[in-house]
Chain A
């Protein structure tokens, strides 16, 4: 299953609402996770089951969608939110990631 994220890069100001889209090449129901990765660090789990917030993750992060189209929304971008965001499907036994969306702070 191929996962396609858009945009590739987003540049936004502190306080802005940021939305990242992830599309699956076939239906994956709600079996989608989102991760944040900062340069030189391991990824961090943010969201699973499309919309479940991982413990300890700020509530400004939210996920939605089902089937083939999903979104990750940051309601009020903070300076610490820079990094690359990846979606990952786990509908199939062989999981796959999107190519990543880089979030830059203006």
Chain B
């Protein structure tokens, strides 16, 4: 059974840090690009970052570049998002998802999603 499970969200003060994790099962994790996407309460979807299967190619949205770091551990079938210098407008549900780029498709779109983990940034 394919499953992506995010964890690590919570309440943090502005300027603080959090590390999100996404544990996967039921997929050949090392074949996949992985991505993080967020959704502020009542708002639309915002792509954050993706990482290729061997951690050689990484890209970030401008809104998080320099503050967030994506990484992965293929031995643990997991992807991570280190979030530093958090701001109030980082408050959102954070989803991890598999990215079809690495398995034969021509671009980054997302077919398997986790249920998300909520991050609240507030003083």
Give the CA-CA distance A54 to B105 in the complex, in Å.
Answer: 13
Among A11-19, A68-76, A95-103, the stretch that binds chain B is A95-103
Contacts of A94 in B (CB 8 A): 47, 59, 61-62
Is A62 among interface residues, defined by CB-CB distance under 8 A?
no
Interface size on A, residues (CB 8 A): 24
Report the number of A-B residue pairs with Cβ-Cβ less than 8 Å: 57
Contacts of B110 in A (CB 8 A): 33, 35, 43, 45, 88
Is B73 among interface residues, defined by CB-CB distance under 8 A?
no
Is B80 among interface residues, defined by CB-CB distance under 8 A?
no
Residue of B nearest to A47 (CB): B109
By secondary structure, the A interface counts as loop
Residue of A nearest to B101 (CB): A90
Contact assessment for B111 and A45 in the assembled complex, using a CB-CB cutoff below 8 Å: yes
Is B100 among interface residues, defined by CB-CB distance under 8 A?
yes
B46: shortest Cβ distance to chain A, in Å?
Answer: 7
Among B12-20, B24-32, B82-90, B112-120, the stretch that binds chain A is B112-120
Residue of A nearest to B65 (CB): A94
B37: shortest Cβ distance to chain A, in Å?
Answer: 8
- Which of B45, B107, B113 sits near A90, CB closer than 8 Å? B107
Given A45-B110, A86-B45, A98-B44, 12 more A-B residue pairs with CB atoms under 8 Å apart are: A33-B109, A43-B113, A88-B47, A88-B110, A90-B108, A93-B59, A94-B59, A95-B47, A95-B108, A96-B47, A99-B44, A100-B45
User: A interface vs B, CB < 8 Å?
Assistant: 31, 33, 35, 37, 41-45, 48-49, 54, 86, 88, 90-91, 93-100
